[in-house]
Structure 1
Amino acid sequence: MKIDKKMALISAVLLTVSPVLTSVVQPTVMTVQAATKNKNTITVPGNAALYNSKGDMLTTYNGKTFTTFNKTTNLKVYGNPVKIRGNYYYYIGNGAYAAANYVSKINGREALSLNCNSYVYTKKGNRTGKLLRKNLSYIFTGKYKQNDTADNNVFTKGKKQYQLISTGIKGNDYFQIGKNQYIRIANIERISTNALTHNEIKVTIKKNTHVLLEGADGRIVYSDKIMKKGQKFISDALVGLNNGSNSTPMAYRIKGTHTYIWKSDAYSRHFLTTEITSSAEFNTYTVRAPKDGLQFYNANGENITPTGASFEKHRLLGVDGQMYIWVPKENKAELFYHIVATQKEFITPGDIKGHYNSKNINIGNAFVKVADTENYSGLKKPEIINTAAEAKTDAEKSASSSQLDELKSLLNDSTVIKKSTAYKLSNSSTRNNYDVTVQEVQALLKSKRNLSAAEVKLYSWILQTRTNNLYGKKITVKNMKKMTKTEINLLQSLLNEVESNVNTKSNTYTTLSYDKKMNKVYLVTTAVGTGKLISKVEQPLSDFVTEE
């Protein structure tokens, strides 16, 4: 039998795709929908590739170099999809084929693709006996709606997010594909080639692998626990982890924990909605300046941008709150972000004309207008703590005695807080942010000027937020006298995070280090450049480690 006859036979027997939903799913050739102007066409996205009769990607098409289409394209198709090397393809002529599972429209109607073979059910949950095949695309009649805050059964099209309108059948979510025809939403891979994502997914281990932890300094630590090939777990996020290289490979987070499995060591047929480049995005929202010259303000709405300094375009800023501040010069309340770091890096003029230096400048607790920034990363914007009307009213009246008492109480707590583990084992920048805020509050309360309610309330919020941001925590071990390799790695990570500073005035470098043989922690100071040891002072191990 000739090859073309074999192909025709395969096409007639195995193919299940068709623009008709009422007869889709049977493992035979489908009937064709009533004629339309888009009859026998498919639409593919701009990044779609083409293939030859062996399933290899084409490098030329119609006599020209070809990688992928550069825009959404309508293609004429000939016959039903054909199966090549286990995958299905539409033949589009001139020896070219388009992947049948990466089609946004069939005959002008939106299509979906599947991550596994899927039976079709009635609304009452009865199986119809019809089967939709993986690696094919099907038109559907189900609906979806825009929902930018949902995190389950969603997909992104353009800059908007949409959620499938599901039908509950026997405790599971189903999606309508035709009259009284439904399939499990869990079996849908893409809607119009856009990945369908979920708030949690089942993941399977591909090979024996260590469970990953994150050290205090953000780097990964391999735990002693091993998950075996074939084991399953639930993941709620895909996260980029710091492995000490220039890249941040992705890992599945084990649901509700701070433990991970490398994505390369596991598999899931589903996509996660939460996919972030760093675990810091769980807690930190980051914005950036869309152009040079971002302006900074204080709690009274006064511009405090250092003279002669410029904040560069696209430099990042972590923010932890949104609030309206009355700006006297503009005679209106503006929405601001509170910046996490009290030190910012600015560009300042150099000694030579036309040359510029990068310089860290401590400008304390500062704010930037939300309208002057653009969002960069983070799962959730910080909450807005007041209204524009409240900002105006509070700026025009003096702080009450109760408002002053609240701020004084928070200040008095600082003595105890600075002795706490949460403070002492946070990194130096977090401690510095807290210290600077305490100093500013002390200066504020000592000043003889009439303090506004707006300023006092805002500083109470800042000092409370700085307290909440202190995160230091001891490493928990089974036996302090005989720590495991994982426990030692976690301890060293903590020591790196707590103390690793260069003193430019004394030209010294101070770190905390752990001596494995002696089972002791030391505060070590060396000379910058030569590395000469200046001092080595033992620190109580119990300051950093606690037993279960």
Structure 2
Amino acid sequence: MKGKLILVCASVLGAGLFFNRPVQASSTQTITIAPTYDGKVSVVDKKGNYIGNTNVSSNKSYKYYGRPVVIKGKAHALENALDLITYIGKDTYQSLGDGGFVKAANATSSYEKDGKIYLRINKNSYIYDKNGKRIKNFHGQSYLKAGSDFQYLGKIASTYAPKVLYNIGKGHYVDAQYIAKVDGKGVVRLNHNAYVYDKNGKRVGKTVLGKYSLVKYAGKWQKATKNSVFFTKQAYKSSASYTLPTKKIKNSTYIAIGKNAYVKTINLELLNGRIIFAKGPVELTIKHDQVAIDTKLNPSTKIYHRGQKVTSDYAVSYGSGDVQRIYYHIKGSDYYLDWGPGEEYPNNSVEDQVSANFYIRQHIQTSRYLDKYNTIVDFNKTVSSYDVNGKVIGSLKSGSGVFVADQARYIWNSSENKAELYYHLTARIVEPYGDDESSEPERSSCDLYVKASDADTVTGLKLKAQNTAKEAEADYNKIASKELKNRADTLLAAVDTVKASDKYRLSDYQTRAAYDQALASLTKAKNDSQTTQMVMASLIDQVQISQKRLDGKKIKVKDLNDLSTIEANAIFALMQDVNNYDKIRVGIYTDYATKSGRYPSDFKNSQRSHFVLIDANSKKHDLNVKEYATD
């Protein structure tokens, strides 16, 4: 089938440019190079091999000769044998191929030799079928010995990456993926074999435009709007988005490639050499069993299975550099799926598919994960910080992370005799970054105000001012009213109930700290007879807002006394969120099988493994699973 696909691609390449495509070299037979991050593109030979230190420049045109050349390209595995994890019952298994499985913890490395893949078995391992039932004879073996290598018996999904090359002379060729224009006309590159349709959605003849071929489009590209079905960036890292005119025919969207000739937008990969982003939603096909990620980016107990198709409506990114991750949100749910490493996302090469955990036809442009759930304030200079009265209490340096704001509020500035808008900041966040995976995110609590005018950027959730400038002026010198004091009493009277709830107990430490700080400030203000109307109103709002952000809840499991590995991982992540702060941390310890004592480990089973809190003095305390999970 792959051979036929390549032939189709080669045979219809001319059709891909069949609207006024020249055959012989002429003054108009040119290609224009697309923008790149460094302004140049390496050239290759006719076999697709890079020619050292030889480049063409972005945005420049070059004459090309003859018809474009299609080469088969290299074979690429789209999977790794160790990624083929299967969840059966309460355990996690590694596929051996041909219907056989071993416990995943017993096969943690693999290697390739002479075109074959081998799994290294690190512990004597029984072999199981897809239902978790032991197989007593699997290809002549009743079990696999520790230290042995087992040849993987399944087929690893793979693909070839054909290249369409344009001959620019002297044995030099340019890969079509870097071409913005052919003969002065803009082009799209296809991500799939594509039929041509007329204005009524009927196929035009038997023409098939080949995958990866370039197709001249009709009309001009234009600035994208929020309703654009797809878009691309005008230049590398540009903020300006562009698209093409589209036509809705029945249930599909098309672009015009000539008079009464259209192709579906789902088949487009590049526009003028730039990666296309779909507005969404898009369809994902799961490559291997995968545990969904919750809205806190912790593992959940939800599993999506190999081959399953799901719909994603948006994507987010978290971190930067080699530790950046991309997450696709599952439409209509509270779950994400981990795309994989994001330092080069999106990438239009086949390697992009190799590193991803699912297949997609078109990428979604990511937004920042933090912006989905917070108002984020950033600074490009050192700025003053203020208390609730608008008095300077310190400063914030640029580059020290971003800050979470929970309210916008006008505060009267008596020295300048005017009201100014301030943001109340509750946390500082530093996303993971760098070149190694050991980089950890940082989050610390704070309770301060900054002037809105000092902020460089404010992104994410929109904040509406809690008061007006006139109210700030009027309330500046007023003693807090009885009505406000009564509201404060009501909030303070509910503290014990709130703190006994799962919403409070199981919220992460920083969320609880924000609520605790707001309570402490309100309690102090309530007991001060000179507290002003402005301060009391501000602190009441802080308590109400921080209380609403409490979102803790127990993990739902099937049996509290017999946890699956997936359930244990979700509980462990929750325990870490709740308890990891200062020098306190949570670990897992497992009983030795043949002697007394415990050792740090991954979760084994509910009978031997224990969740342990290690306090600031390194003393260990067992955590009660029932406080964090329910069945």
Interval containing the TM-score (normalised by the shorter chain): 0.7 to 0.9
Which residue in the other structure is 2:351 paired with? none
Using the aligned pairs only, state the percent identity. 24
When residues 323 and 520 of structure 1 are mapped into structure 2, their CA distance, relative to the original with a 3 A threshold, is same
Residues 167-216 of structure 1, C-alpha deviations (whole Å, 9 max, x = no match): 2210222223333332211111122223222222122234x333344597
Change (3 A) 1:40 1:342: closer
Relative distance call for 1:14 and 1:273 in structure 2 (3 A) is closer
Whole-angstrom CA distance in 2 between matches of 1:485 and 1:112? 46
| Partners of 2:506 and 2:578 within 8 A in 1 | yes
What per-residue deviation string (whole Å, max 9, x for no partner) do you get for residues 45-85 of structure 1?
Answer: 23533221111122232xxxx4x74x432222223322223
How far off is 1:511 after superposition?
Answer: 4.9
Number of the residue aligned with 1:91: 167
Which residue of the other structure, out of 564, 567, 570, is the alignment partner of 1:490?
570
Deviation at 1:367, TM superposition (A): 2.4
- Which stretches in structure 2 are left out of the alignment for 5+ residues? 1-8, 73-161, 341-355, 431-442, 591-605
State the distance in 2 between where 1:269 and 1:116 align: 8
Give the number of equivalent residue pairs. 478
1:81 pairs with one of 65, 68, 74: 68
Work out whether 1:444 is the aligned partner of 2:502. no
Please give the residue correspondences for 1:234-245 in structure 2 after superposition, counting only pairs within 5 Å. 234-238=311-315
- 1:471 positional shift: 1.8
Task: Answer whether contact 2:222 2:242 (CA < 8 A) is retained.
Answer: yes
Shift of 1:88: 1.5
**2:302 paired with 1:210:** no
The residue number in structure 1 matching 2:469 is 391
The alpha-carbon distance between structure 1 residues 257 and 361, as it changes in their structure 2 partners (threshold 3 A), is: closer
**1:372 corresponds to 2:454:** yes
Equivalent pair of 2:34/2:274 in contact (CA under 8 Å): no
| Structure 2 equivalent of residue 57 of structure 1 | 50
CA distance in structure 1 between the aligned counterparts of 2:197 and 2:330, rounded to whole angstroms: 32
- TM-score, length basis structure 1: 0.74
Which residue of 2 is the match for residue 43 of structure 1?
A: 33
Superposed displacement of residue 401, structure 1: 5.4
Match of 2:390 in 1: 301
Q: 2:203 aligns with which of 120, 127, 133?
A: 127
The secondary structure found in structure 1 opposite 2:386 is coil
Larger RCO (CA within 8 A; separation ≥ 6): 2
Task: Tell me how far 1:329 sits from its aligned partner.
Answer: 4.0
Aligned 8 A contact 2:283 2:309 in 1 = yes
Closer, same or farther in 2 for the Cα pair 1:438/1:14, shift >3 Å?
closer
In the superposition, relative to structure 1, how do residues 498 and 95 fare at CA in structure 2: closer, same or farther (>3 Å)? same
Do 2:376 and 2:402's aligned partners in 1 also have CA atoms closer than 8 Å? Answer: yes
Cα shift at 1:231: 3.4
Query: Which residue number in structure 2 is paired with residue 274 of structure 1?
Result: 366
Q: CA distance change for structure 1 residues 145 and 391 in 2, over 3 Å: closer, same or farther? A: farther
Paired letter, 2:264 = R
Instruction: Name the counterpart of 2:182.
Output: 106
- Listed one character per residue, the Cα deviations across residues 322-380 of structure 1 (whole Å, up to 9, x for unaligned) are 45544444445544433222899xxxxxxxxxxxxxxx998x5322234433449x7x3
Q: Distance in 1 between matches of 2:536 and 2:197?
A: 62
State how far apart, in whole Å, the 2-side matches of 1:150 and 1:467 are. Answer: 37
3-state SS, counterpart of residue 46 of structure 2: coil
**1:8-23 superposed matches below 5 A:** 14-18=13-17, 23=18
> Residue 168 in 1 paired to residue 245 in 2?
no
In the alignment, what sits opposite 1:353?
none
Task: Give, as a single letter, the amino acid of the residue that structure 1 aligns with 2:170.
Answer: N
CA distance in 1, matches of 2:271, 2:560: 54
Residue 280 to residue 456, structure 1, CA distance change in 2 (3 Å):
same
Distance 1:84 1:285 in 2: 50
- Counterpart residue number, 2:119: none
- What TM-score does the superposition give when structure 2 sets the normalisation length? 0.65
SS in 2 for 1:296: strand
- Given the alignment, which residue of 497, 511, 517 partners 1:430? 511
- Rounded to whole Å, the distance in 1 between the matches of 2:613 and 2:177 is 60
What letter is aligned with 2:578?
Answer: V
Q: Which residue of 1 aligns with 2:192?
A: 116
Query: 2:45 is paired with a residue of what secondary structure?
Result: coil
Residues 1:226 and 1:139: Cα distance change in structure 2 (over 3 Å):
closer
- Over 3 Å counting, the alpha-carbon distance change for 1:325 and 1:192 in structure 2 is farther
Structure 1: gaps of 5 or more residues: 1-9, 345-359, 504-508
CA distance in 1: counterparts of 2:406 and 2:503, whole angstroms:
18
- CA-CA distance at 1:303 after TM superposition: 2.5
